[in-house]
Chain A
Amino acid sequence: MPILNRRLWRMVAAGKGQFAALVTVVMMGVLVYISMTTAYYNLYNSQQTFYQQSRFADYFFSVVKAPQDITNRIETIPGVVAATGRIQKDVSFLRPDGGRGTLRLTSYKLPLGQQLNQPVLLSGRMFTGYSGGNPEVLVDPQFAKGLGLKLGDILDIVAEGKIVHLKIVGIATSPEFIYPMKDASSIIPLPGEFGIAMLPYNQAEQILNLQGQVNQLSLQLVPGTNEYEIKKAVDAILAPYGNLYAYPRDQQLSHVVLKTELTQLKVMSRFLPFLFFSIAAGMQFLLLGRMIRLQRSSIGIMKALGYDNRTITAHYVSYAVLVSFTGAMLGTISGIGLAVLLSDTYAQYFYLPTTIGGINYRAIVYSFMISLGVGASSGLLACRGVIKIQPAESMRAAAPVQGKHILLETIPWLWKRFNSSWKMGMRSIARNKTRFMVMVAGVSASVVLLMLGFFMQDAIDYMMEQHFEKEGRYDYLIHFSSPIRESDLGYWLQWSEVEDLEPILEVPVSVTKADSNGVKSDDDLLQGLGLDGWMQGVFSPSGIQLAIPDNGVLLSAKSSKKLKLVVGDHIKVKSKMDLGPGHTMTLKVVGISQQLMGGGSYVSLQTANRLLGESKLLTGVMVNIHPGQAAAFERRLGDLTSISSIVSRNKAESNFRTLMQSAIFTIICMVIFAGILALAIAYNASLMNFNERKNELGLLRVLGYTNAEIRGVLLKEIGLQSLIGIILGIPLGRWLANYYIATAATTDMYAMPAVIYPRTYILATVSAIVFLIAGFWLITPRLKRLDLVETLKNWD
């Protein structure tokens, strides 16, 4: 039907702006859908491939030490496919600047064979077994980058009180170290402070003095087996060897971070396109409905000439389909571009050896199907009116618009206060309910996007404040490779750099309910702190700071949830520390603690010592130094061989800030998405409003209204709808932010509350208003071009 096609193009050309606005919204939907699902599948597939190739373990156990052939016994447990034993220990390494960091030595048997958690070489060569020279190691890429290490470099570590020179022969990663974090309480990786070194088993047993022993076991399980039963069986086998703690893959740090990111991507890749497609559907429905009303007489003529309903409907639906098709095309092109950008960003976070890139054809096909489906169905819905049009009737003038009293008029004292242009606006809204709803939904959607964007900054700021200001108020947190006496610290206070220090005693424990005979237990870290200490802030789940109790325990929220314990209950804690016989003690729960990251249960230093049958033992120390003394202090630490790890708050904080800059990218994206949506919706609504009220507006000009006053008339209607959209959008955004945090950002390890600062509400509202006004402003040139004489003639 070439004539109707030609007419279609003319309709597009006559309403270029509106066509562009619709195409843009569809395009945004497709853009977001393609880029996010592509990024998701790329990341997910690389993860899965890597996990499979490297045989990532399902369960991890730590013991003090056990003979290496213990794996044979574990492999006899039904449900266990394979068990690998290894040595893993944190030692300190010497940085070129004289400072220290933590290196996690992880051993592998040669040849690698069927071992679990195999390293994958990224560059260099595999290590060889004992060869007489310096032990050969592979290091993780972030660590190598952070310290500027090259192949062939020598890295000095302190192990078992001796300095050992390690030769770097390759850069490698493993499924455990995709996102290498030291422990659950480190908020982010610290490439210059913490790293992974992979080395042959026979080297590790020499360096760490563990001949014939292993201290970690990784298990691969038959899919779908009861993990709890297996853990019990393994625990029984390991009991004589100082069974420390165990965790499933779901609590493995690197895996948790990657999984969280994947969940977030998945949630967003569904929610955002849904938003854009819904708005696009509403806008297309409105536009086509209006087009059909305006073209009543043309449709009547077509019918009179003998065109059937189906042909005419197809003609108008093809407009919507054209919008969808154009939007899908543009969205696909830009979506592939954004997918590359997103994948690059992820590549900076996660070191995956096989990055599966490329185009996700399925996402493209789905995009076209969804957008064409949305276009065609909203078009068909809008075209129902075509069928009703009778040729003879349609060529007469349409019945005039019927003004109606609205609900607000029942409050006369209020109604009286509005001038005519407000009344016009409000009655026009009441008359065009669908348009009103689409406009309100569009504005709400863009406010939601703005809130989700800006709230990320709140989350970052909150994490910074909570982690670095409220919880950790020390300059340094230092752990020793084995417990020391408090008296050993005496000379630290004589160092001129040190202002103050507080000891800390950390004891890995298993927790059971006191009267439950140990049926259900949870692994926890008991942290003993000084009663008058202030460097470590302990908080309740509702954010109230708790004081360290003289007696009793501030139980971790994680254990309290798992064991269903509340304040007032008694717990039995059993030390798993590599120190004398396993002591137990009963403690009263006096409070529940929840740190932003990691954390554990808190007791007084004395209580922790009592558990071990000791009095003045400590495993770490928090230090505050005098300003400007960091370098000198770190040099002092460099001379000590008993230190296993050092956390410098300054470095962690600046590292965190740098890493979080990539969040700016997400925030900017969200603001751009929201801006485009608000602009398109305001432009479209204003234009429809203008076109429908052209005659009225012309009349007002004739009566002597100025251009500014006319603008005001239109702005009042748009403004009122926007206001309602913003008012609805704010709680909706708040709710979605909470939902997002709850589903996509909360794990066993991260306790992220949905914090929304007042500035986010203000920023979201102000930005939405700016974008809406900008959309409205695009139509103002039309107001100036209003032909007064012409509008009077067209009055009907």
Chain B
Amino acid sequence: MDKPLLMRLENVSKQYHMGEVVVDALQPSSLDIYVGELIVVLGPSGSGKSTLLNLMGGMDRPSDGKIFFGKQDVSAADEGELTNFRRQQVGFVFQFYNLIPDLTAAENVALAASLIKEPMSVSAVLEEVGLSARAKHFPAHLSGGEQQRVSIARAIVKRPPLLLCDEPTGALDYQTGISILALLRQITSTVGSTVIIVTHNTAIAAMADRVVRMRSGIIAEVTSNDIPLAPERIEW
């Protein structure tokens, strides 16, 4: 890889204690993530892909191992540092959009924009995701695809170096799903964010620079696509 390193996971593992049962959600795994690449993390339910995403996003701390973001040891960060890490470095896109119902599309984006010093302009971001006309609508009045675009706009308005997407097309129909993927691909070049898409939909792997395959709580395989497919050409 000739790109600079963005994040490094060293033997990261995570155990959950459910009463007396210990669940190994993630077994010791290592992964390097580079600036500007698009990674698709593939795996069936329970394979540990969401756990991996939560650890990368600073929503959770590993039970063991280290996570470096640049020189910052995210795995040793305290609550305040983790909050700041999420605030400055990470954008999230969720399967169910997670928009605030009481805020309009533009206000949902502004909610994130208000957190940092120099965000992108809200209207520019909505323009970017193709929702300028729907800025004043509440989530309940938007279609699923439109809500996901708002969610993406909310994530990228902070210009995060790392954009984490958890099943971003999971709740959408095929056509809409494709358009969302195209938008994410576009963002790697326009915003310059590293995009990580977690999905169980194997077809999406074709658009990735690299594909991380997970099975039973462990990274089973990491492969590179020499020529990633344009999202519009993906079919499932």
**What residues of chain B lie closer than 8 Å to A400, measured between beta carbons?**
101, 139-140
The CA-CA distance from A789 to B94 in the complex, in Å, is 12
Is B86 in contact with A402, judged by CB distance below 8 angstroms? Answer: no
**What residues of chain B lie closer than 8 Å to A695, measured between beta carbons?**
98
**What residues of chain A lie closer than 8 Å to B87, measured between beta carbons?**
703-705
A774 on the B face (CB < 8 A): no
**What residues of chain A lie closer than 8 Å to B83, measured between beta carbons?**
701, 704-707
By beta carbon, the residue of chain A nearest B137 is A403
In the complex, which of the residues B84, B94, B101, B140 contacts A792, with contact meaning CB atoms closer than 8 Å? Answer: B94
By beta carbon, the residue of chain A nearest B16 is A789
| Residues 425-448 (chain A) with a chain B CB within 8 angstroms | 427-428, 431
By beta carbon, the residue of chain A nearest B87 is A704
In the complex, which of the residues A401, A702, A707 contacts B101, with contact meaning CB atoms closer than 8 Å? Answer: A401
**What residues of chain A lie closer than 8 Å to B154, measured between beta carbons?**
703
Is B96 in contact with A431, judged by CB distance below 8 angstroms? Answer: no
B77 on the A face (CB < 8 A): no
The CA-CA distance from A705 to B82 in the complex, in Å, is 11
B10 on the A face (CB < 8 A): no
Residue pairs across A and B with CB atoms within 8 Å: the count is: 82
Which among A419, A420, A700 has the highest number of chain B CB atoms within 10 Å? A420
**What residues of chain A lie closer than 8 Å to B88, measured between beta carbons?**
704
The CA-CA distance from A199 to B61 in the complex, in Å, is 92
Instruction: Assess A796 versus B139: contact at CB under 8 Å? Given A427-B102, A704-B86, A788-B59.
Output: no
B111 on the A face (CB < 8 A): yes
Is A424 in contact with B115, judged by CB distance below 8 angstroms? Answer: no
Is A431 in contact with B102, judged by CB distance below 8 angstroms? Answer: yes
**What residues of chain A lie closer than 8 Å to B54, measured between beta carbons?**
789
Contact code string B102-114 (vs A, CB < 8 Å = 1, else 0): 1110011011101
Is B115 in contact with A699, judged by CB distance below 8 angstroms? Answer: no
B80 on the A face (CB < 8 A): yes
In the complex, which of the residues B86, B98, B103 contacts A403, with contact meaning CB atoms closer than 8 Å? Answer: B103
B124 on the A face (CB < 8 A): no
Is B94 in contact with A403, judged by CB distance below 8 angstroms? Answer: no
Is B139 in contact with A403, judged by CB distance below 8 angstroms? Answer: yes
In the complex, which of the residues B98, B102, B107 contacts A699, with contact meaning CB atoms closer than 8 Å? Answer: B98
Is A402 in contact with B138, judged by CB distance below 8 angstroms? Answer: yes
Is B103 in contact with A702, judged by CB distance below 8 angstroms? Answer: no
In the complex, which of the residues A420, A705, A789, A792 contacts B98, with contact meaning CB atoms closer than 8 Å? Answer: A792
Is B86 in contact with A703, judged by CB distance below 8 angstroms? Answer: yes
A404 on the B face (CB < 8 A): yes
A653 on the B face (CB < 8 A): no
| Residues 687-715 (chain A) with a chain B CB within 8 angstroms | 695-696, 699-707
Instruction: Assess A423 versus B103: contact at CB under 8 Å? Given A702-B92, A705-B115.
Output: yes
In the complex, which of the residues B96, B103, B107, B115 contacts A703, with contact meaning CB atoms closer than 8 Å? Answer: B115
A795 on the B face (CB < 8 A): yes
In the complex, which of the residues A401, A789, A795 contacts B59, with contact meaning CB atoms closer than 8 Å? Answer: A789
Q: What DSSP secondary structure best describes chain A's contact surface?
A: helix
Nearest chain B CB to A405 CB, angstrom units: 8
The CA-CA distance from A703 to B98 in the complex, in Å, is 11
B76 on the A face (CB < 8 A): no
| Residues 777-796 (chain A) with a chain B CB within 8 angstroms | 788-789, 792, 795-796
B60 on the A face (CB < 8 A): yes
In the complex, which of the residues A402, A404, A420, A706 contacts B80, with contact meaning CB atoms closer than 8 Å? Answer: A706
**What residues of chain A lie closer than 8 Å to B60, measured between beta carbons?**
788-789
Nearest chain A CB to B204 CB, angstrom units: 21
Is A703 in contact with B139, judged by CB distance below 8 angstroms? Answer: no
B100 on the A face (CB < 8 A): yes
Is A702 in contact with B59, judged by CB distance below 8 angstroms? Answer: yes
Is B110 in contact with A420, judged by CB distance below 8 angstroms? Answer: yes
**What residues of chain B lie closer than 8 Å to A421, measured between beta carbons?**
111
The CA-CA distance from A423 to B57 in the complex, in Å, is 27
**What residues of chain A lie closer than 8 Å to B140, measured between beta carbons?**
400-403
Nearest chain B CB to A695 CB, angstrom units: 8
The CA-CA distance from A701 to B60 in the complex, in Å, is 12
Is A795 in contact with B102, judged by CB distance below 8 angstroms? Answer: no
**What residues of chain A lie closer than 8 Å to B94, measured between beta carbons?**
792, 795
Is B104 in contact with A403, judged by CB distance below 8 angstroms? Answer: yes
Is B115 in contact with A795, judged by CB distance below 8 angstroms? Answer: no
The CA-CA distance from A400 to B141 in the complex, in Å, is 10
**What residues of chain B lie closer than 8 Å to A696, measured between beta carbons?**
100
| Residues 650-705 (chain A) with a chain B CB within 8 angstroms | 695-696, 699-705
Which among A400, A427, A696, A702 has the highest number of chain B CB atoms within 10 Å? A702
Is A703 in contact with B111, judged by CB distance below 8 angstroms? Answer: yes
**What residues of chain B lie closer than 8 Å to A424, measured between beta carbons?**
100, 102-103
The CA-CA distance from A404 to B54 in the complex, in Å, is 33
**What residues of chain B lie closer than 8 Å to A701, measured between beta carbons?**
83
By beta carbon, the residue of chain B nearest A784 is B79
| Residues 617-643 (chain A) with a chain B CB within 8 angstroms | none
**What residues of chain A lie closer than 8 Å to B84, measured between beta carbons?**
704
Which among A401, A420, A703, A704 has the highest number of chain B CB atoms within 10 Å? A704
Nearest chain B CB to A717 CB, angstrom units: 10
Report the 5 A-B pairs with minimum CB-CB distance, sorted nearest first: A704-B87, A403-B138, A427-B102, A401-B101, A420-B111
Query: Which residues of B pack against A, CB within 8 Å?
Result: 54, 57, 59-60, 79-80, 83-84, 86-88, 90, 92, 94, 96, 98, 100-104, 107-108, 110-112, 114-115, 138-140, 154, 158
Given contacts A403-B138, A704-B86, 19 further A-B contacts (CB under 8 A): A401-B101, A401-B140, A402-B101, A403-B104, A403-B140, A420-B110, A421-B111, A423-B102, A424-B103, A427-B102, A427-B103, A696-B100, A699-B98, A699-B100, A702-B86, A703-B154, A704-B83, A706-B80, A707-B83
User: Can you give 27 contacting A-B residue pairs, CB < 8 Å?
Assistant: A400-B101, A401-B140, A403-B100, A403-B101, A403-B139, A403-B140, A420-B100, A421-B111, A423-B102, A427-B102, A427-B103, A428-B102, A699-B98, A702-B86, A702-B92, A703-B111, A703-B115, A704-B84, A704-B87, A704-B90, A704-B158, A705-B87, A705-B115, A788-B59, A788-B60, A789-B60, A796-B96
